[in-house]
Structure 1
Amino acid sequence: MNFFPSNIKLLSTPRLIDGGHSKGNFANFNLALHVGDEQSLVLANRDLLLRRYNLPSAPVWINQTHSKMSIDADSTSSIVNADASYSKKSGTVCGVLTADCLPVFICNKEGTAVGIAHAGWRGLVDGVIESLIESLDCNGEDLIAHLGPAISQLSFEVGGEVKSQYLSKNKNFKNCFAYLNNKYYLDLYDAARVVLKSLGVTSISGGDRCSYKESNQYFSYRRDGECSGRMAHLIWMGRP
């Protein structure tokens, strides 16, 4: 992330934090209201998020549905269905929640536009990254991307029909799949790189963590099931 402009701020929250409020499987810094955690504890965590990381404003949360919808966070006053958001104003915090899916942080090299996408396997193949970049109205070569923590390939088994969907869209996805013991495994990081590079984005960092394996650091739906909490991934424009 060291090649992001100095005014661009990125944050991926940890699973555990000093002062986190959630209990049990949600311990302790769950930031999602929709997973069965106590609302009062989640709201306390969101308040802690705002204070601990000195955010310029409350994050613009979205109701994620594994779509390709991208919305303008600068003009959003209520929670809407979307899987990506963008901003061209200083102080607007774009955010997504994940527990294995891939957060894709994007900004332009001038530091005047930012966005983030929630890229699960469905959203990724359906075009959520393309939708976000189209919203930013920038050429790919003028953009910088960072791939936040997600599930790694050998922990992410998928069906053959998933591979078929990817290959029907772009044959370059072929190398994003491994085949071991009669099972397919998808590399979300590599799939995102295929999409980004196809759009002209070559400045790409990240992609070396595993939400499934790093249980002390990350929530994981594949590992923990229905009672998994969610991490927040935020991007905004601040002062240089």
Structure 2
Amino acid sequence: MSDTNLWLTAEGLPSNVYAGQTLSIINASMDQVQPYLQFNLALHVGDDAAQVQQNRHHLLSALAPLGATTLHWLSQTHSIIAHRIDANITPQLLEGDGLVTSEHGAVLMMMTADCLPIVLSNADGTEVACLHAGWRGLANGIIEATVKKMKSQPTHAWMGAAISQQHFEVGAEVKATFVQENADFENDFLAQADGKFLADLYNIARKKLNALGVDNVSGGTQCTYAEVDKFYSYRRQSITGRMATFIFIPTKDATLNLSL
């Protein structure tokens, strides 16, 4: 099996950047270790730490031929904190939910299992970002905070798999939080008979990105909850693994061979 079967490859980005989202299952014929399956990348969900580190090493080895050199993780806290990764890399694990870099080979990583992962790039692919947007982060401004951390205007975005509107039920207070910010978000909530609402994270994020001048937005068509054979879902199974969405600018000597 090709290593690129470890992830979905992002589309709609500048040709000189590479991005994607890992999958929960590598090979259905292999033994399954519930609830983490075969490619959990999170250390905080109760999985065997040695196995998680092995999975992370495997991912880096698979991305290396595409021009990746290091994986950069965060302790994600549903915040609006974004960090810049530069040549002076700190050895400590930072807290936050957004990463930005112009360094070649530095792979920006965000873990999700229903929340919305978004990658960004400027027009010429010389600066990229990756962020984690649950509804709280989306409402509080993680997209805006990450864009603010960039030194250039992002023009392209790709949204990885998240929970779709059909399966994402929230309370009236969540809807009110968004509508207070922008009345246009009213249309992104479908009322249910029990007084709750179905929220469209994808469309809310798309509107926020467009408002920030990011007009080329792709992705946002899959559902972590419904697509059991591809994705982890916290709402479907509260004890579960995590996918990782990533983006990087390949090293200058790399040949971006998408057939690998």
Same fold (TM over 0.5): yes
Structure 1 residue corresponding to 2:71, chosen from 28, 40, 59: 59
Look up the SS of the partner of 2:35 in the other structure.
helix
Contact 1:20 1:45 in 2 (8 A): no
The answer as to 2:33 corresponding to 1:23 is yes
Aligned counterpart, 1:81: 95
Contact 2:11 2:158 in 1 (8 A): no
Look up the SS of the partner of 2:18 in the other structure.
strand
Aligned counterpart, 1:234: 246
Question: Offset of 1:2 from its aligned partner?
Answer: 4.2
Look up the SS of the partner of 2:157 in the other structure.
strand
CA distance in 2, matches of 1:120, 1:72: 21
Contact 1:93 1:234 in 2 (8 A): yes
Question: Offset of 1:22 from its aligned partner?
Answer: 7.5
Alpha-carbon spacing, 1:86–1:22, altered in 2? closer, same or farther (3 Å)? farther
Structure 2 residue corresponding to 1:172, chosen from 184, 193, 199: 184
The answer as to 2:111 corresponding to 1:97 is yes
The answer as to 2:241 corresponding to 1:210 is no
- 1:70-104 Cα offsets, whole Å, 9 max, x none, are 00122443211100101011111111000000001
The answer as to 2:172 corresponding to 1:160 is yes
Question: Offset of 1:53 from its aligned partner?
Answer: 2.9
CA distance in 1, matches of 2:90, 2:247: 16
Look up the SS of the partner of 1:24 in the other structure.
coil
Question: Offset of 1:58 from its aligned partner?
Answer: 2.9
Aligned counterpart, 1:120: 134
CA distance in 1, matches of 2:111, 2:57: 16
- 1:81-140 Cα offsets, whole Å, 9 max, x none, are 10010101111111100000000110001110000110000000000000111111333x
Contact 1:160 1:184 in 2 (8 A): yes
Structure 1 residue corresponding to 2:158, chosen from 137, 146, 163: 146
Contact 2:160 2:220 in 1 (8 A): yes
Alpha-carbon spacing, 1:200–1:77, altered in 2? closer, same or farther (3 Å)? same
Query: Structure 1 stretches (4+) deviating beyond 4 angstroms?
Result: 18-22
Structure 2 residue corresponding to 1:71, chosen from 83, 101, 120: 83
CA distance in 2, matches of 1:172, 1:40: 47
Q: So what's the TM-score if we normalise by structure 1?
A: 0.94
Contact 2:70 2:105 in 1 (8 A): no
Aligned counterpart, 2:198: 185
The answer as to 2:209 corresponding to 1:199 is no
CA distance in 1, matches of 2:92, 2:49: 18
**Cα root mean square deviation, aligned:** 1.7
Contact 1:33 1:42 in 2 (8 A): yes
CA distance in 1, matches of 2:37, 2:79: 28
Which residues of structure 1 form unaligned runs of 5+? none
Look up the SS of the partner of 1:122 in the other structure.
helix
Q: Which amino acid aligns with 1:214?
A: E
Look up the SS of the partner of 2:54 in the other structure.
helix
Contact 1:70 1:84 in 2 (8 A): yes
Which residues of structure 2 form unaligned runs of 5+? 1-9
Aligned counterpart, 1:14: 23
Q: So what's the TM-score if we normalise by structure 2?
A: 0.87
Look up the SS of the partner of 1:151 in the other structure.
coil
- 1:11-69 Cα offsets, whole Å, 9 max, x none, are 20010114989821100100000000011111111111112233622311000000010
Number of aligned positions between the proteins: 237
